[in-house]
Homo-oligomer: A and B are copies of this chain.
Amino acid sequence: MKDLLVDKSSGNDIKVKVRDTIIGGNEKVIISGPCSVESYEIMVNIAKSLKVMGVNMLRGGAFKPRTSPYDFQGLQYEGLKILSEVSKKVDIPVVTEVMDIRDIEEVIKYADMVQIGSRNMYNYPLLKELGKINVPILLKRGISATLSEWLYAAEYIIIGGNENVVLCERGIRTFESYTRNTLDLNSVAVIKEKYRLPVIVDPSHGTGLRELVPAMSLASIAAGADGLIIESHINPDNSVSDARQTISLDSLKEIINNIQKLKRSL
């Protein structure tokens, strides 16, 4: 793993700009929203509340990778359009996942940032294609990707010409079953120490349990993360997917306050 474009020795630390938000700079960026886009009504209400409390970006899944083909696969293009309308209405940038290489062209008409989910971190044709466009990419760590494999996945994008890559630690698969995944904050410390890319943390998937999200959000920032991506909902228990790990907007507000206090102390 010598002489990669992601190494600190290859240049200055990368800052990724998504509209007015800079990831990898001084600010701790907060991305939030529901797991799946459910309807315009729900989405616009969530987005307005998030905007008021200072959330930087809105997240929401239109194309949902699901273990079972019998589970809800997302609203697809309809979801994408809802996301885009809400984004304009509330004036907040949006990030959403792309799973299919054939969707990229269309998705980037609607989204400000493209997410590559854990299941697609090894999807090299998809990564190569994203290297050719000039759109910010949120690259989640594979479910059991080594740090090295994850960084090489970023390299696949950057080598193509698109340096706008933000890494996202979202927990790895281990023997521990109390939590959905094991959030590996060591990875954040390593990335901040040795590599040029910004890194944010997803404590929602990293724990799978909403009651752990506040503590692990703080821990992530203390480990050096440049921001957080947190699943939130007006009515978490009614969330169509990932309800168990989705927090309320009140809980999110408290986390944001605590992050601000923590940040001032560091």
Contacts and interface: CB of A to CB of B under 8 A. Distances in A.
A53 to B, nearest CB: 19
Interface stretch (A24-32, A84-92, A97-105, A245-253): A97-105
Interface in A159-180: 159, 172-179
Nearest to A5: B69
Stoichiometry, as copies per complex, reads 4
Nearest to A223: B219
Contact of A146 (B146, B177, B192, B193): B177
A17 interface: no
Contact of A159 (B69, B176, B178, B216): B69
Nearest to A185: B219
Contacts of A190: 178-179, 212
Contacts of A65: 122, 124
Interface string A216-258: 1011111110000000000000000000000000000000001
Nearest to A172: B174
A36 to B, nearest CB: 15
Contact of A174 (B128, B174, B211): B174
> What is the predominant secondary structure among interface residues of chain A facing chain B?
helix
A143 B144 contact: yes
A46 interface: no
A69 B153 CA distance: 8
A109 interface: no
Residue from A173, A177, A223, A266 with most neighbouring chain B CB atoms (10 Å)? A223
Nearest to A173: B175
Given A144-B143, A159-B69, A262-B265, A185 B216 contact: yes
Contact of A212 (B99, B189, B207): B189
B211 A218 contact: no
Interface string A98-140: 0111100000000000000001101111001000000000000
A184 interface: yes
